[in-house]
Each structure stands twice: as structure tokens, then as C-alpha cells.
Amino acid sequence: IGKIGVFTSGGDSPGMNAAIRSVVRTCAYLKVECVGIYRGYQGMIEGDFKPMDARSVNNIINKGGTILKSARCKEFRTKEGRQKAYDNLRKEGIDAFVVIGGDGSFTGAMIFNQEFHFPIIGIPGTIDNDIFGTTFTLGFDTALNTVVEAIDKIRDTASSHNRLFFVEVMGRDVGHIALNAGVGAGAEEILIPEENLGRERLLESLKRSKESGKSSSIVIVAEGDKTGKNIFELKEYVEENFPDYDVRVSVLGHMQRGGSPSCYDRVLASRMGVKAVEALLQGKTNLMVGVQDNELILTPIHKAIKGHTKIDKELIRVSDIMSI
């Protein structure tokens, strides 16, 4: 392998730039050429490539988003699209690639590998932490800090007005952001898809909390939670059945995906980039780099795509105890 491509694909997350930097500099260190592919699979199909040297990634470790841009690309889902991508990679002399993204991006890479025997390695970049084979994905830790900071601010206004706030956080089908940020921000209740205890229990818990002397409350709702049809419907239900509180909703939205990456995400990204390039140069392929017990591990990419992450039961218990 003499030339490695690197790109970001799907939803962006803080830490992607730090991972790009790491891949580029590891290539330079090991004297392999490196090419940045813009806009993920879209840029691969259009031949949007740029050679990257160690200096081309100066001053990006602290930046959110991705300098290589990201995209969702329908054409890559077709055989013809992937053939175009392959032809462009060959023309450019790229022998292997590192894909930084989520499970959709990994699925595309896996199919590409099967069709063209093209070496690929994945780095998990998503704030949702929903990828099997790694305890942490790039961007998760930063997103938690962003959410905790936002909830701290909401708490100030909630306690000034005796309000009950429902705060919706991202996470797609899983509740990792909600649970961790909820415990970190001292939320009264955390509603996650992995543990649907029903609306009645939520009401009881809010009543108990009010009776115990709390004047305001914060309930974190994971976007994938099904306790209500949606967060606004849940608000109406609580208002009807529990008129004591002035209820407000705050949907945090895309601010959770932005911002300068935390130190943890920068370090993790740097480690994962080194591991990805080294694995390719050792002839490994079709793997995702992950972290477990603070050691880097490689997981077959099909397992990373299919496997499910487990919610932290101990943390659910901690949260229950804290909301006494």
C-alpha cells in the first residue's frame, strides 16, 4: 500500500478533524502518501481529491465539523456509482481508505470491499455512541459536555420560575447521550428508549418529587424515547394531569453536533487514526477501530454494523437513586 485515502461521511461529529489529522500525519510518518476525499462517497464518485501532507492539517485538532466536508450520497448505493468511485480511486493511485463515519458509511465501505477487494478500515465518528465494538465513538464525550452545559443554563431559569422542563437530546434509537448527560446534569428523570416505564410512572415520580420539596424539575428525553408520541404531546399529557407545574419544552437540536472537541475526543481520535493506518499497512482490512478498557481494538466491520450497544444498567440505577 503506497497511497491511502481518508474521508468523513454521514453525520458529522466533533473529533472528526482530529482523526483526519491523525491519519494524514501517520501516513507522513510512515512515508505513505495520503489523499483527502471531499464530501465522502459523493466526492469519491466525482473525483474530488486533494493530496494531504503533514502541514495540510495544521490547526484543525481543535475544530468541530470536518474540513473534508461530509455528505449523504444516493449514487453510492448503486453498483454503477460504486464502479465510478472505484475507477476514480484507481486513477488517483489510491490503494486503501479510512472511512470516518457511522454505520451507514461502514455499510457502504463493506459492500465496496466485497465488490472490489479494496482494503478499508473504519473509525467510528458519531455523537450518538451507537456503534458496537467501541465503548466510545468520536464526538460522544464532546456532545455530553455540550448537553450538560445547556442543561445547567436551563436549570437556572427553571428554578427561578418553578418550572418543569422537558429537554430533548439527540441519540437516535439509543439513550446514551440522555442517560450520561442526565446523570451529569442532575436531571430528575431520564426517558430513554431502552427502558420505557410508561407515562403513569413519570407522573408519579414528578408528584413524589414535588411533595418532597422540589420546586423545579428537569426531565431529559432521548429523541428515540417512546413514552409520549413526541416531546410536545408528553408535555400536554403532564400539564393536563399535573397542573401544579408550568411546563416548558426545549429541544437542543444540532448544537449538540458542533463545537470544539473535548480533550478526550482529541486524544481518542489521534489514537484511532494511528491504529487505522497501521492496520492497513499490516494488510488488515474490513475492520473498525474501537476502544475498550482504554485499549484500542479492531472489530470486523459487519459486527460493528449489526451489533447493538448496551445501555449502562448501573448508570440507570445511579440515576434512580439520585432522583430521590
3 state DSSP class of 5: strand
Specify binding-site residues for substrate: 126-128, 163, 170-172, 223, 248, 254-257
- Report which DSSP code applies to 261: P
Of the candidate spans 95-103, 152-160, 200-208, 281-289, the one that interacts with ligand ATP by CB under 6 A turns out to be 95-103
Specify binding-site residues for Mg(2+): 103
Determine which residue in the list 47, 104, 258, 307 makes contact with ligand ATP, applying CB under 6 A. Answer: 104
Of the candidate spans 45-53, 102-110, 243-251, 280-288, the one that interacts with ligand ATP by CB under 6 A turns out to be 102-110
105 or 323: whose CB is closer to ligand ATP?
Answer: 105
Contact call for residue 98 and ligand ATP (CB under 6 A): no
Could you tell me if 189 and 242 are in contact, meaning their C-beta atoms sit under 8 angstroms apart? no
Radius of gyration of the chain (CA): 22
Q: Is 31 exposed, middle or buried (0-12, 13-18, 19+ CB in 10 A)?
A: exposed
* Sequence-distant (≥ 6) Cβ neighbours of residue 271 within 8 angstroms: 22, 291, 296
CB of 300 to ligand ATP, least distance (A): 17
Question: Order of strands across the sheet with 189-191?
Answer: 189-191, 217-222, 163-169, 246-251
| Residues 322, 324: Cα–Cα separation, whole Å | 6
Please say if 156 is a catalytic residue. no
Determine which residue in the list 77, 214, 284, 302 makes contact with ligand ATP, applying CB under 6 A. Answer: 77
Contact call for residue 64 and ligand ATP (CB under 6 A): no
Specify binding-site residues: 11, 21-25, 72-73, 102-105, 126-128, 155, 163, 170-172, 186-188, 214-216, 223, 248, 254-257
Contact call for residue 107 and ligand ATP (CB under 6 A): yes
Of the candidate spans 27-35, 103-111, 205-213, 289-297, the one that interacts with ligand ATP by CB under 6 A turns out to be 103-111
Question: Order of strands across the sheet with 33-37?
Answer: 49-51, 33-37, 3-8, 96-101, 120-124, 287-292, 295-300
9 or 319: whose CB is closer to ligand ATP?
Answer: 9
Question: Given 12, 48, 128, 265, which residue is catalytic?
Answer: 128
Determine which residue in the list 111, 148, 203, 267 makes contact with ligand ATP, applying CB under 6 A. Answer: 111
| Residues 47, 91: Cα–Cα separation, whole Å | 9
- Report which DSSP code applies to 11: S
Helix boundaries (H) for the chain: 16-29, 40-46, 79-92, 103-116, 140-161, 176-185, 199-211, 231-241, 263-281, 301-306, 313-322
Determine which residue in the list 5, 36, 43, 101 makes contact with ligand ATP, applying CB under 6 A. Answer: 101
189: number of Cβ within 10 Å: 22
Determine which residue in the list 18, 23, 35, 73 makes contact with ligand ATP, applying CB under 6 A. Answer: 73
Q: Which residues, 120 to 179, sit near ligand ATP by CB under 6 A?
A: 126
33 or 265: whose CB is closer to ligand ATP?
Answer: 265
User: Rule CB under 6 A: which residues touch ligand ATP?
Assistant: 9-11, 41, 72-73, 76-77, 101-105, 107-108, 111, 126
User: Mind telling me the catalytic residues?
Assistant: 128
